[in-house]
Amino acid sequence: MPYFECYYENVNILKFIFISLFFLTLASGCQTIKNKTDAIIKKENTKLNEYIGKTSDNLKMNLGKPDEDFKNGKGNLELVYNTKKYGIVCERRFEVDSNFIVIGFVSNGCF
């Protein structure tokens, strides 16, 4: 019977190794996805940052007519662009001051 005890001990060690490798692979995969997502968000923000300081006409010329426009609590104009990719709604919201200059943006769900 000592032979079987050694066998079961080796099987348990192998199980532990395979389970550890599985979770290590899973964790590194999640990190890879996070890195790719962060890179896409950074690229999106860099692209939208180019509109800061430009006129709202320039923004409309490049992105088209906004889906919504309204005055916010500060009295500035908000231009909202909505798109959908892979079933995920993307909203880009630009804030325009009284001189029709883009002064800020918020991007949600865009990649």
The per-residue pLDDT string of the chain (111 residues; one tens digit each, 9 = 90 and over) reads 455 566 667 677 777 777 777 776 666 666 677 778 788 888 888 999 999 999 999 999 999 999 999 999 999 999 999 988 888 888 999 999 999 999 999 988 776
Residue 73 inside a domain? The answer is yes
Which pTM does this prediction carry?
0.67
Residue 45 inside a domain? The answer is no
Kindly give, in sequence order, each residue whose CB lies less than 8 Å from that of residue 77, ignoring residues fewer than 6 positions away: 56, 69, 70, 71, 95, 96, 97, 100
Domain count, the chain: 2
Domain containing 96: what range? Answer: 50-111
Residue 16 inside a domain? The answer is yes
Is the distance from CB of 108 to CB of 83 less than 8 angstroms? no
Is the distance from CB of 95 to CB of 103 less than 8 angstroms? yes
